[in-house]
Amino acid sequence: MKKVGKTLTALAMVAALCVGAAACTEPVDPGRATAETGEITIRIVDKGYGTDWLSQIADAYMAATPGCTVKVIVSNDSGAVAARAQTASNDADIIVTTDSLYGMQQDGYLYDISEVYDSVQEEGGQSLKDRMNQSFREYFETQDGKFYQMSWVEAYSGYMYNKTVLDEVYGEDGYTLPRTTDELIAMCEDLKTNHGIEPIALSQSMSYYDLIKYTWFAQWLGVEKYNNMLRGYYENDAGEYVPCETVEQFTEMISAEGRTEVYEAIFELLRNYAHSESDKMNFTDSQNAFLGLGYGSNMTKCAFYLIGDWFLKEMESSIQSSGADVRYMKAIVLSAMADTLEDPLEDSELSELIGMIDEGMTYEQVKAEAGWSGLSEEDYGRVYESRYTNYSPGTNHVLAVPRMREGGGQYSLAMKFLKYMVTDEAQAIYVQAQNGLTMPYGYTLAQAEEDYGLTFSEMAKSIAAAKGDSSVLITRGDNSLFARSFPLYVGYIEKDAITGTFASAAAAIASVDSSYNPENSLPLIVK
């Protein structure tokens, strides 16, 4: 039922009073400030998602908690924000950035903020850590069950499609969106050869194809094995994941066949179907070309674009002026992953299974379908997982409470604000400010529509659909010193794929393996 006659801010104010009162009575560690009122300073980095959401939440919080003030300082340099937070000149009680703070965490520069994760909105309710996206919880939770960072966006990255263009080419009901990489390649070929469409908008100077490689590699390996690889763990003969102790084990771990399969798919797409002027366009040019606004005198229409969901906010005015209906697809599944199943599938079979998963069919329901009685539950799970995996920049878009704060810090006031920030009311403010993007703390567009009558674009709804109930998070291993010590590829993948810097995918991988000395990384694995 919609809460008629009540504004979002008013409800947020009431909730803040309750949350604030509870937070003020909670104990804090010795030596930390315990003031119940006063000012906190938040320093935020302004990149693709903007900063309006924080200002609006801060305004609602201050209106609801007399005597508590939030000062927001905007910066454009994430490195400078992190560097300052590690010195005595730090003036921020909370830092909000677009980079991982794992290094600061490891070096002891961040406060333990576990009490935010342990907080509940109402008596008898679930704690934040239990109601949030569990992939994010697993990423941030330490071995001893503590938390030092929080994500402030449940980011999604993947393929967008220009529905306006595809509808014009095939008719509104005349096509099915590609579900696998083979199907994506086939549609790109048809669009280019038979319809004069630029299949993939791209700028060689900057784009995000490095993000999709993480998703596809995790699909091929399986998320568990992928995450263990980023930790520097390999699977021994007993099926246990243990730290690499020899160069041979290390080499076997990072030289997985899946890397070849991922590169081959990316190289096929970019060499043959990237925009014909991708070597001339800058990043914004490629985005505008995807929206149908053309590049210079070239008004050729485009079909696909790979980017994160910040596109919704970053290109808001261009989306409106173009009139294009652009949406996100659910994760394209690497066709080659079907060969890794207990019972390998043909690409057409893989696509059919994905289609049934998209319809919400359970394992038992799929098995009851003609021709699917032999499907194993593990294979169903692998394909389901692949459909709802995505690389999420959310693990780099984080906030934290730095220890280096002149005057001893405002810990209790910072905790008070953060507990408010993750309430449903504050998340609804966030969702509205971000045009339908969400935090990873359980509040959905459907709830915002029901609670406050908010409406969202089809593009925003497509992101929610692509995530499913709780998307499986794929990372670059930024919370692992080992993973940060070596690359999964060498060079800039967009240029390499198109210009042929690497003669083949295998050559690219060989370049990685031969240019990196694994002995240097082995000591990092066990830390």
CA distance 122 to 106: 33
The torsion angle over the Cα atoms of residues 324, 330, 331 and 335, rounded to 10 degrees, is: -100
Confidence of residue 207 (pLDDT cuts 50, 70, 90): confident
Tokens standing for residue 489: 């590829």
Instruction: Go through 297-326 and write b for each residue having 16 or more CB atoms within 10 A of its CB, e for each that does not.
Output: eeeebbbbbbbbbbbbbbbeebbeebebbb
Tokens standing for residue 299: 């008004």
Average pLDDT over residues 128-142: 93
Average pLDDT over residues 298-309: 95
Cα 152 to chain centroid distance, Å, stands at 11
pLDDT at 130 over 60: yes
What digits encode the pLDDT tens for the residues 248-299?
787 777 766 777 788 889 889 988 999 999 989 999 999 999 999 999 999 9
Of 304, 100, 54, 330, the residue nearest 201 (C-alpha): 304
Higher-confidence residue of 110 and 503: namely 110
The pLDDT value given to residue 37: 87
Instruction: Provide φ and ψ at 490, rounded to 5°.
Output: -115, 135
**Three-class DSSP category at 345:** coil
Of 206, 337, 199, the residue nearest 270 (C-alpha): 199
What does each C-alpha distance from 31 to 34, 147, 184, 365, 407 come to in angstroms? Answer: 9, 19, 58, 58, 11
Average pLDDT over residues 474-491: 66
Asked which of 86-90, 328-332, 383-387 is least confident by mean pLDDT, the reply is: 86-90
Asked which of 76-85, 379-388, 422-431 is least confident by mean pLDDT, the reply is: 76-85
Residues 6 or more apart in contact with residue 88 via CB below 8 angstroms: 404, 406
State the burial class of residue 29 (Cβ atoms within 10 Å of its Cβ: 0-12, 13-18, 19+).
exposed
CA distance 420 to 116: 9
What count of Cα atoms within 13 Å lies in the side-chain half-sphere of residue 55? 11
Tokens standing for residue 37: 């009122």
Asked which of 2-16, 126-140, 171-185 is least confident by mean pLDDT, the reply is: 2-16
Helices (H), 368-444: 377-387, 411-421, 424-433
In DSSP terms, 68 is beta-bridged to 38
Q: Do residues 98 and 47 touch, judged by C-beta distance below 8 A? A: yes
Average pLDDT over residues 67-96: 93
CA distance 380 to 158: 22
Instruction: Provide φ and ψ at 303, rounded to 5°.
Output: -110, -45
Distance between first and last Cα of the chain:
51
What digits encode the pLDDT tens for the residues 422-475?
999 999 999 999 999 999 999 999 999 999 999 999 999 999 999 988 788 888
The pLDDT value given to residue 485: 63
What distance separates the 2 farthest-apart alpha carbons in the chain?
A: 71
Instruction: Provide φ and ψ at 7, rounded to 5°.
Output: -85, 160
pLDDT at 209 over 90: no
Asked which of 24-28, 362-366, 437-441 is least confident by mean pLDDT, the reply is: 24-28
Cα angle 417, 420, 425 (rounded to 5 degrees) comes to 145
CA distance 129 to 113: 12
DSSP readout, 65-125? STTEEEEEEEES-HHHHHHHTTSTT---SEEEESS--HHHHHTT-B---HHHHH-BSSTT-
What does each C-alpha distance from 277 to 198, 246, 282 come to in angstroms? Answer: 10, 46, 10
Identity of residue 47: K
Confidence of residue 238 (pLDDT cuts 50, 70, 90): very high
Average pLDDT over residues 1-12: 43
Domains and CATH numbers, the chain: 8-155+394-462 (3.40.190.10)
What does each C-alpha distance from 477 to 36, 250, 269, 446, 524 come to in angstroms? Answer: 38, 16, 26, 32, 13
pTM: 0.87
The rounded mean pLDDT for the chain is: 86
Of 472, 477, 397, the residue nearest 158 (C-alpha): 472
Confidence of residue 491 (pLDDT cuts 50, 70, 90): very low
The pLDDT value given to residue 10: 40
